[in-house]
Protein backbone atom coordinates (compact mmCIF):
# COMPACT_ATOMS: atom_id res chain seq x y z
CA UNK A 1 0.00 0.00 0.00
CA UNK A 2 1.35 3.38 -0.95
CA UNK A 3 0.88 6.35 1.34
CA UNK A 4 0.60 9.96 0.19
CA UNK A 5 4.07 11.45 -0.04
CA UNK A 6 5.64 7.99 -0.19
CA UNK A 7 7.07 8.48 -3.67
CA UNK A 8 4.71 6.03 -5.39
CA UNK A 9 2.40 7.62 -7.93
CA UNK A 10 -0.33 5.65 -9.66
CA UNK A 11 -2.62 6.65 -12.49
CA UNK A 12 -5.76 6.54 -10.34
CA UNK A 13 -6.92 7.03 -6.78
CA UNK A 14 -9.76 5.01 -5.28
CA UNK A 15 -11.91 7.09 -2.95
CA UNK A 16 -14.52 5.37 -0.81
CA UNK A 17 -17.32 6.50 1.46
CA UNK A 18 -19.08 4.18 3.89
CA UNK A 19 -22.78 4.98 3.51
CA UNK A 20 -24.38 2.15 5.48
CA UNK A 21 -23.09 -0.27 8.10
CA UNK A 22 -26.12 -1.34 10.06
CA UNK A 23 -28.22 -4.22 11.29
CA UNK A 24 -31.92 -3.89 10.66
CA UNK A 25 -34.57 -5.99 12.33
CA UNK A 26 -37.17 -6.62 9.64
CA UNK A 27 -39.08 -8.93 11.99
CA UNK A 28 -38.57 -9.96 15.63
CA UNK A 29 -35.41 -12.01 16.07
CA UNK A 30 -34.44 -11.71 12.38
CA UNK A 31 -31.65 -9.17 11.90
CA UNK A 32 -30.31 -8.30 8.47
CA UNK A 33 -26.88 -6.75 8.09
CA UNK A 34 -26.54 -4.03 5.43
CA UNK A 35 -23.30 -2.60 4.10
CA UNK A 36 -23.09 0.09 1.41
CA UNK A 37 -19.88 1.63 0.10
CA UNK A 38 -19.74 4.38 -2.53
CA UNK A 39 -16.55 4.25 -4.58
CA UNK A 40 -15.01 6.72 -7.04
CA UNK A 41 -12.05 6.10 -9.30
CA UNK A 42 -10.29 9.43 -9.81
CA UNK A 43 -7.60 10.15 -12.39
CA UNK A 44 -4.54 11.57 -10.63
CA UNK A 45 -3.38 13.70 -13.56
CA UNK A 46 -6.44 15.96 -13.67
CA UNK A 47 -8.74 14.92 -10.81
CA UNK A 48 -11.52 13.76 -13.13
CA UNK A 49 -13.84 11.00 -11.98
CA UNK A 50 -13.33 8.04 -14.28
CA UNK A 51 -16.04 5.86 -12.73
CA UNK A 52 -18.31 5.86 -9.69
CA UNK A 53 -20.60 3.24 -8.22
CA UNK A 54 -22.37 2.21 -5.06
CA UNK A 55 -21.81 -1.31 -3.74
CA UNK A 56 -24.43 -2.89 -1.46
CA UNK A 57 -24.33 -6.21 0.32
CA UNK A 58 -26.58 -7.82 2.89
CA UNK A 59 -26.23 -10.86 5.11
CA UNK A 60 -28.48 -12.65 7.56
CA UNK A 61 -26.87 -13.71 10.82
CA UNK A 62 -27.86 -17.16 12.04
CA UNK A 63 -28.89 -15.69 15.43
CA UNK A 64 -29.23 -12.34 17.19
CA UNK A 65 -26.05 -13.11 19.11
CA UNK A 66 -23.43 -10.35 18.83
CA UNK A 67 -20.76 -12.70 17.45
CA UNK A 68 -23.16 -13.98 14.78
CA UNK A 69 -24.08 -10.43 13.75
CA UNK A 70 -20.38 -9.47 13.68
CA UNK A 71 -19.62 -12.47 11.45
CA UNK A 72 -22.42 -11.39 9.10
CA UNK A 73 -20.90 -7.88 8.91
CA UNK A 74 -17.56 -9.47 8.03
CA UNK A 75 -19.13 -11.56 5.28
CA UNK A 76 -21.06 -8.64 3.77
CA UNK A 77 -18.02 -6.35 3.92
CA UNK A 78 -15.81 -9.01 2.34
CA UNK A 79 -18.21 -9.48 -0.59
CA UNK A 80 -18.45 -5.70 -1.07
CA UNK A 81 -14.68 -5.24 -1.11
CA UNK A 82 -14.28 -8.14 -3.56
CA UNK A 83 -16.74 -6.39 -5.88
CA UNK A 84 -14.91 -3.08 -5.48
CA UNK A 85 -11.55 -4.63 -6.37
CA UNK A 86 -12.90 -6.23 -9.56
CA UNK A 87 -14.76 -3.06 -10.55
CA UNK A 88 -11.67 -0.90 -9.90
CA UNK A 89 -9.45 -3.06 -12.09
CA UNK A 90 -12.01 -3.27 -14.89
CA UNK A 91 -12.79 0.46 -14.79
CA UNK A 92 -9.13 1.50 -14.70
CA UNK A 93 -8.18 -0.80 -17.59
CA UNK A 94 -11.15 0.37 -19.67
CA UNK A 95 -9.97 4.01 -19.47
CA UNK A 96 -6.39 3.44 -20.58
12-94, which class in CATH? Answer: alpha beta
The per-residue pLDDT for 96 is 61
DSSP string covering the chain, please? ---TTSS---SEEEEEEEEEEEEEEEETTEEEEEEEEEEEEEETTT--EEEEEEEEEEE--SSSSHHHHHHHHHHHHHHHHHHHHHHHHHHHHHT-
Q: Give the pLDDT confidence of 39-60 residue by residue, as tens digits.
A: 999 999 899 999 999 999 999 9
Q: Give the pLDDT confidence of 60-76 residue by residue, as tens digits.
A: 999 999 999 999 999 99
Closest CA to 51 of 23, 82, 93: 93
Mode of pairing for the β-strands spanning 12-27 and 49-59? unpaired
6 has pLDDT over 70: no
Is residue 22 very low, low, confident or very high in pLDDT (cuts 50, 70, 90)? very high
The answer to whether 23 touches 31, Cβ cutoff 8 Å, is: yes
Would you list the domain boundaries of the chain? Answer: 12-94
pLDDT mean across residues, the chain: 90
9 has pLDDT over 80: no
Whole-number CA gyration radius for the chain: 17
Amino acid sequence: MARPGGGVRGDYQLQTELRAFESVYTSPGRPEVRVEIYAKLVKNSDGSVVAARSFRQTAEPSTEDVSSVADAFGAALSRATDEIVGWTLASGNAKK
